[in-house]
């Protein structure tokens, strides 16, 4: 038969049934656990948990006499299951649960710089084993491994020391020295980042590990101030704000890839080409990028940028009127 349409009530009832089937073995494994602690683990209020217990109390084996029903000792704030009526284990992992855990563990195992890759791999093997067939997950993960540099920086982060880093900022095309208070390291897509309080900028910054050209671990501790708040990177790292300058490009087929690589405000078809609008952190960065993109990209606006690009290129060309210097 076809599955029932899931109403909100159906969903709530299915969630509750799943929780109850977990609750009995959970309590069974932890005699005398605090009701409040169990409620927190299951993400419900203490009152809801007590209602769950009341419901379980009238469930049991056929016969439904005193010796057949699930039994428990409620001692003030604590609860102990004294009879489980056969629900002594949780249900097996369903395919989605197995997929979620196995893929995330494979991701962790592939991530350079995790402190305990060995533990991750052992855990993965055990979960796969317990999940049986459903762990036969058709998902493979491979992340790039510039593990050496990541490991070195992570060592300093683990020791909770401040760092002096030499950092390259492409937006301004400059390499600067700064002292930072590391907060955490993370991996977003293929890139590793150090998140730290930057004492120079007096703000929380995400530093791309491949742009940290050198670093020194300082003797002083890492002390990010109270206002240092981690970024929300669940949506990616670059969030163009409306205050950044807009540039408009005419893009041919061969360079259409840039619309997948850089966040764009608008991509519009125009004959054989596309008109692409994007926000850039810096016009100088845009110039360096756009000058180098090749014959498939023409900057349309702003006019200052068009002029600047043409003049830069013309000046650069003047350098080539003379033959190259002969070097030893």
Partner 1 sequence: MLLAFPLVSRTRTERLVNLVICLLSTRRFLTAAQIAATVPGYEHDPEDPRDHEAFQRKFERDKAELRELGVPLETGLASAFDTEHGYRIAHREYALPDIPLEPDEAAAVGIAARLWQHAGLAAAASSGLAKLRAAGVEVDPQATLGMEPVMTVDPAFGPLTAAARARRAVTFTYRVPEVDEPSTRRLQPWGVVCWQGRWYVVGHDRDRGATRCFRLSRIVGSVRAVGSAGAFSPPENVDLISHVARWSGPVARNGRATVFVRPGRAAGLRRLAMETVPGPEGDRLTIPYSDVEWLASRLVGYGADVRADGPPELREVVIQQLKEVVARHERVVPTMLR
Interactions with partner 1, residue window 3-62 (CB under 8 A): 3-4, 9-10, 12-14, 16-23, 25-26, 29-30, 41-42, 55-56, 58-62
CA triple 181-184-186, angle to 5 deg? 135
Residue 179 or 306 with smaller CB distance to partner 1: 306
Nearest to 39 by CA among 53, 29, 49: 49
Nearest to 168 by CA among 113, 215, 118: 215
Residue 203 or 254 with smaller CB distance to partner 1: 254
Stretch that binds partner 1, among 71-79, 184-192, 222-230, 239-247 (CB under 8 A): 184-192
CB of 47 to partner 1, least distance (A): 13
Residue choice 32, 67, 115, 263 for contact with partner 1 (CB under 8 A): 115
CB of 27 to partner 1, least distance (A): 9
CB of 49 to partner 1, least distance (A): 14
**Distance from C-alpha of 307 to C-alpha of 294, rounded to nearest angstrom:** 17
**Distance from C-alpha of 300 to C-alpha of 306, rounded to nearest angstrom:** 7
Residue 152 CA, distance from chain mean position: 21
**Distance from C-alpha of 169 to C-alpha of 293, rounded to nearest angstrom:** 19
Stretch that binds partner 1, among 73-81, 91-99, 196-204, 221-229 (CB under 8 A): 91-99
Stretch that binds partner 1, among 173-181, 200-208, 221-229, 238-246 (CB under 8 A): 173-181
**Distance from C-alpha of 232 to C-alpha of 217, rounded to nearest angstrom:** 27
Helix (H, G, I), strand (E, B) or coil at 258: helix
**Distance from C-alpha of 179 to C-alpha of 217, rounded to nearest angstrom:** 10
Could you please report the per-residue DSSP string of 150-162?
A: HHHHHHHHHTTEE
The token duo for 259 is 């619309």
Residue choice 72, 98, 165, 247 for contact with partner 1 (CB under 8 A): 98
Residue recorded with tokens 């109403």: 7
**Distance from C-alpha of 186 to C-alpha of 209, rounded to nearest angstrom:** 10
CB of 88 to partner 1, least distance (A): 8
Q: Do the Cβ atoms of 48 and 77 come closer than 8 Å? A: no
Burial of 274 (0-12, 13-18, 19+ CB in 10 A): buried
Position 248 contacts partner 1 (CB under 8 A)? no
Position 91 contacts partner 1 (CB under 8 A)? yes
Residue 187 or 198 with smaller CB distance to partner 1: 187
Residue 164 or 168 with smaller CB distance to partner 1: 168
Within 123-162, which residues bind partner 1 (CB under 8 A)? 123, 126-127, 129-130, 132, 136-144, 150, 154, 157-158
C-alpha gyration radius of the chain: 29
Within 260-299, which residues bind partner 1 (CB under 8 A)? 260, 287-295, 298-299
CB of 76 to partner 1, least distance (A): 23
Position 226 contacts partner 1 (CB under 8 A)? no
Residue 173 or 220 with smaller CB distance to partner 1: 173
CB of 270 to partner 1, least distance (A): 12
């Amino acid at each position: 038969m076809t599955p029932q349409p899931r109403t909100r009530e159906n969903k709530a009832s299915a969630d509750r049934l799943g929780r109850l089937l977990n609750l009995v073995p959970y309590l069974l494994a932890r005699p005398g656990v605090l009701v409040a602690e169990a409620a927190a683990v299951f993400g419900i209020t203490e009152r809801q948990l007590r209602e769950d217990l009341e419901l379980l109390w009238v469930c049991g084996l056929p016969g439904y006499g005193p010796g057949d029903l699930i039994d428990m000792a409620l001692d003030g704030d604590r609860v102990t299951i004294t009879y489980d009526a056969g629900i002594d284990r949780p249900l097996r992992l369903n395919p989605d649960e197995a997929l979620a855990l196995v893929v995330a563990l494979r991701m962790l195992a592939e991530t350079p710089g995790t402190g305990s890759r060995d533990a991750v791999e052992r855990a993965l093997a055990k979960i796969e084993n317990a999940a049986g067939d459903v762990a036969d997950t058709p998902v493979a993960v491979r992340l790039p491994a510039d593990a050496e540099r990541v490991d070195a920086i992570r060592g300093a982060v683990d020791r909770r020391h401040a760092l002096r880093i030499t950092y390259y900022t492409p937006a301004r095309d400059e390499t600067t020295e700064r002292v930072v208070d590391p907060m955490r390291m993370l991996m977003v897509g293929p890139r590793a980042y150090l998140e730290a309080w930057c004492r120079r900028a007096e703000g929380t910054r995400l530093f791309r590990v491949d742009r940290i050209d050198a670093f020194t671990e300082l003797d002083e501790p890492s002390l990010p101030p109270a206002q240092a708040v981690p970024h929300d990177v669940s949506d990616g790292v670059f969030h163009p704000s409306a205050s950044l300058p807009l540039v408009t490009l005419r893009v041919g087929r061969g360079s259409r890839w840039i619309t997948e690589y850089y966040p764009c405000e608008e991509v519009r078809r125009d004959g054989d080409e596309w008109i692409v609008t994007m926000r850039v952190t810096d016009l100088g960065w845009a110039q360096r990028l756009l000058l180098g993109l090749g014959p498939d990209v023409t900057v349309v606006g702003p006019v200052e940028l068009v002029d600047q690009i043409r003049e830069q290129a013309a000046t650069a060309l003047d350098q080539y009127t003379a033959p190259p210097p002969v070097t030893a």
